[in-house]
Amino acid sequence: MPSKPYIVAVIPARLASTRLPGKVLRSIAGEPMLAWVYRAARACVQLDQVLIATDSPEVMEYARARKWDAVMTPAECASGTDRVFHVAQKVAASIYVNIQGDEPMLRAEHIDALLAPLQRHPEAQVSTIATDCSPEQIANPNAVKVVTAANGRALYFSRATIPYDRDRTGGGVYRKHLGLYAYRKAALERFYYLPQSLLETTERLEQLRFLENGIDLYVENTPFDTIGVDTEEDLLAVEAILKQRLAAIG
């Protein structure tokens, strides 16, 4: 029986966000956003290690004060995937999980779903997750849609409304992509050395670099939506939800 792969989760935590500066350390329901993300990741028993990847001494100091594993990465990293690649040069693993530091609604169930395609398809190199679109998200370009083959292999991601309901039957199924990824090490390294692709730069979606270069990406469904925090409005919406969760558990 093959041994269990060693799985490392990386939380890219860039402090200098242009739309919401300092957001990973902004308080949500009494705790910095990064603390919500880190604790949710630690709750997933499939992960062997969780560490924070940052270019900020302030974030590094925050993590070390709590005895959380953290790694400094170059400030010029263009994406979270690039930051995960730099961690992979220092920390050995079979699978790397990319958990954005602005996803405070993260659950352990998201990570379980994320890892399922790699367990089910030995040939799979990259996986991600999606959930059902709410009606207001279907035409929203900030909610990225994904269309897959019957076996879960991603056919395309777009900010446009896909699939297009030409005859307006109302029978289309729309799935919203959630920005968590799991990569086998070889796929992560290949991604880093590939140039940005045309589709990637057109849609501003880094996952299209995989598809445009023939690297299959598998998508698993999850019933749990998230709100990635990019604006003050996002932060307030997430805070209201997390306060409700805290109240429910007493």
Give the pLDDT confidence of 214-237 residue by residue, as tens digits: 999 999 999 999 999 989 999 999
| Distance (Å, whole) CA 114 – CA 207 | 15
- Residue 59 pLDDT > 60: yes
* Tens digits of residue pLDDT in 182-217: 999 999 999 999 999 999 999 999 999 999 999 999
| Range in 45-49, 60-64, 115-119, 244-248 the model is least confident about | 244-248
- Residue 171 pLDDT > 90: no
Q: How far is residue 127 CA from its own chain's centroid?
A: 10
Cβ neighbours of 86 (radius 10 Å): 19
- Residue 2 pLDDT > 90: no
| Range in 44-53, 69-78, 153-162 the model is least confident about | 69-78
- Residue 140 pLDDT > 70: yes
Q: Which domains does the chain have, with CATH numbers?
A: 1-106 (3.90.550.10), 107-225 (3.90.550.10)
Residue 53 pLDDT:
96
| Distance (Å, whole) CA 20 – CA 116 | 33
pTM, entire model: 0.93
209, 159 Cβ separation under 8 angstroms: no
Residue 248 pLDDT:
86
CA torsion angle for 83, 87, 88, 90 (degrees, to 10)?
150
| Distance (Å, whole) CA 183 – CA 240 | 33
Segment 67-82 shows an average pLDDT of: 92
Residue 19 pLDDT:
77
**8-state DSSP, 133:** P
Cβ neighbours of 149 (radius 10 Å): 11
**8-state DSSP, 40:** H
- Residue 66 pLDDT > 80: yes
| Distance (Å, whole) CA 25 – CA 31 | 8
In the predicted model, what is the mean pLDDT of the chain?
93
CB-hemisphere CA count at 13 Å for 163?
Answer: 14
